Chain A
Amino acid sequence: MNRRKLVRSLIFWALLSPIVVAILFPYAVMIITALKSPTEVHDPTWWPHEWRWRNFPEMWQTSGFAPALVNSLYVSGLTTIGAIIVSIPAAYALSRFRFVGRSAFSQFLLVSQMLSPIVLVIGLFRLVANLGMIDSLNALTLIYVAFNIAFCVWMMQSYFSTISRDLEEAAWLEGAGRMRTLVLVFLPLAAPAIAVTAIFAFINAWNEFVIALTMLRREDNYTLPIRVFSLVAGRYTVDWHYVMAAAFAASVPVAVLFAWLQRYLVRGLALGAVK
């Protein structure tokens, strides 16, 4: 153990502690409430008299969690596949070609970020309603794909630019065509970046709120954020212990995934955004 490093660590943790407490506070509230008995929920105690794990199976039974989970998996899975398939070629083009309109395309992506779903929500609703696809999870997926393109292209472009061209050029010299080179040489090298981007697209779709709130009308079509929100909004009595159990169950898998991958974001996002 390095003494100086130990002292420094203690100081840094002390400096970080207020913000760490503030950030963890709501999630601590969530976990504690999720494990309280119905009689204790309304007492703001920090240590429940009884840790009631039964809340989870009960929540599963009563709150319509399972269909929402299936819907969320369906929408997020398809969004990920769709967004990656259309974004790979675009990111490849931006990182490997100089062409007229390259910067215009980059700016178009920035504008598509500015025209966020909420600003467009009235128009999107009419678009989907005209197609008769209100309450369609597929229409929701298509919208998610479109709004994830900018993020996916930025992320992958920044990684793609760090992959040396030497191998590709060697493959061309060996007589391999562009397409073959792309599939056999470039994509395997880019696989980690693609996987990371895919998971973030998944998380974005998993957590999206306003478009799902607008497009999904029938309860059995709800995704998880809408399901949890509907347990709270416009009700006279709210079973907060079930709400928190549902929020916990919906958040933890994704939070674990995110915790594992967050370091990749540092490089990808910063470089991609500044270029």
Chain B
Amino acid sequence: MSRAFTPYALILPSFLLAAVIVLWPVEEIVSLATHDVNRFGMLRDFVGLANFRSLIGDPDFISSLWRTLIWTAGVVLGTLIVSTPIALILNEDFYGRGLARILIMLPWAVSLAMTAVIWRWALNGESGMLNSALRDLGVMNRNIQWLAQASTAFPMQILIGILVSIPFTVTIFLGGLSSVPDDLYDAAAIEGAGAWDQFRLITLPLLRPFINIAFVLNTIYVFNSFPIIWATTQGGPADSTDILVTYLYKLGFRLGRLGDAAAVSLIMFAILLAFTILYVRLAMREEAAT
């Protein structure tokens, strides 16, 4: 085997497998999205963009789209804001740090579907322990049916989303913090920089690439996240907590509107691709500027 071909031979198996499993469904989805499809998945006439047009006229689609943006922005920004101080603390030396790390990483180890099923029970109106905990703390004096209406269910789902996204984000931040050399802080302390200045002038800039990657990956994961909403409310009541992924699932597997479901897939992918490209551009320009 010639040396020049070696790397290609090495990446070939993984490339082929990922390409077949990822690209073949893409091809299927494109053909579904551009055809009139009956509910058994038979392709009929080529209809161009008609499926997309019918989606845009569907108020459920539009409200799911907005809700997805709120969901993604809420979970990702909430996660980044909460994770930064946690990572800073966990990067310090203190008693019980190992235990603290394990506790905060815990949601990562448990299946999202399981965590969501547990929350569904904890949020139960009469028997749920969140209500009893909040009543014991004197925060409120009557039970809330958390999952019975979107105005309480959706914020709860965002909170759950934040809790389960913290481990991954803290992990990335800790990786970044461990690459910051200690002597920089020592030098800054000698120059008389306080803790806030040290954070602002040293930690934050050096953490920048890690914040960027956490932002991009979290956005992708949260935008595509299905189990939390599906296992707590299945998008209900009356589709009022649907985001694009749950809407897509209902279209495809409950309502048999496969063409429309495929069109939602493509729209979701287009949104993610546009976001990633835009963000990578911005991050690169910023890097070039500094």
Q: B95 contacts A90, CB within 8 Å?
A: no
Given the interface contacts A41-B127, A127-B25, does A23 sit within 8 Å of B175 by beta carbon? no
Q: A12-B89, A209-B226, A267-B178 are in contact. Are A23 and B113 (CB under 8 A)?
A: no
Q: Do B14 and A114 touch (CB < 8 A)?
A: no
Q: Please, which residues of chain B bring their CB within 8 A of the CB of A122?
A: 25, 28-29, 32, 248, 252, 258, 261-262, 265
Bound CA span A274–B253, Å: 37
B102: nearest chain-A partner, CB-CB: A259
Asked if A126 and B92 make an inter-chain contact with CB atoms under 8 angstroms apart, the answer reads no
> Which of chain A's residues have a CB closer than 8 A to the CB of B41?
126, 129
Judge whether B50 is part of the interface by a CB distance below 8 angstroms: no
The interface residues of chain B lying within 8 Å CB-to-CB of A13 are: 94, 96, 100
A100 to chain B, nearest CB (A): 9
Docked-complex contact A207 and B110, CB < 8 angstroms: yes
A22 partner residues in chain B, CB cutoff 8 A: 163
Least distance between A84 CB and chain B CB atoms (Å): 11
- Is A265 close to B, CB under 8 A? yes
**Is B112 engaged at the interface, CB distance under 8 Å to the other chain?**
yes
Residue of A43, A116, A124 most packed against chain B (CB within 10 A): A116
Which of B163, B179, B234, B262 is within 8 Å of A123, CB to CB?
Answer: B262
- Size band of the B side of the interface? 35 or more
A233 neighbours in B (Cβ, 8 Å) = 231, 234
B175 touching A269, Cβ below 8 Å:
yes
User: Main secondary structure on chain A at its contact with chain B?
Assistant: helix
B25 and A146 contact, CB distance less than 8 A: no
Q: Is B126 interfacial (CB 8 A cutoff)?
A: yes
- Asked if B155 CB lies within 8 Å of chain A CBs, one says no
- The stretch that binds B, out of A3-11, A49-57, A62-70, A163-171, is A3-11
The complex places the Cα of A210 from the Cα of B17 at a distance, in Å, of 20
Smallest CB–CB gap between A185 and chain B, Å?
A: 16
- Residues of chain A lying within 8 A (CB to CB) of residue B130: 25
| Given A123-B262, A258-B105, residue A274 in contact with residue B96 (CB < 8 A) | no
Bound CA–CA A81/B272 (angstroms): 31
Instruction: Assess whether B95 is in contact with A89, with CB atoms less than 8 Å apart.
Output: no
Residues of A within 8 A of B288 (CB): none
Give the docked Cα–Cα distance between A45 and B108 (Å): 27
Q: Taking each of A178, A251, A262, which has the highest tally of chain B beta carbons within 10 Å of its own beta carbon?
A: A262
A267 near B175: Cβ-Cβ < 8 Å? yes
Tell me whether B103 is interfacial, beta carbon within 8 Å: yes
The 6 residue pairs across chains A and B that have the minimum distance between CB atoms: A270-B175, A123-B25, A258-B109, A146-B21, A207-B111, A44-B132
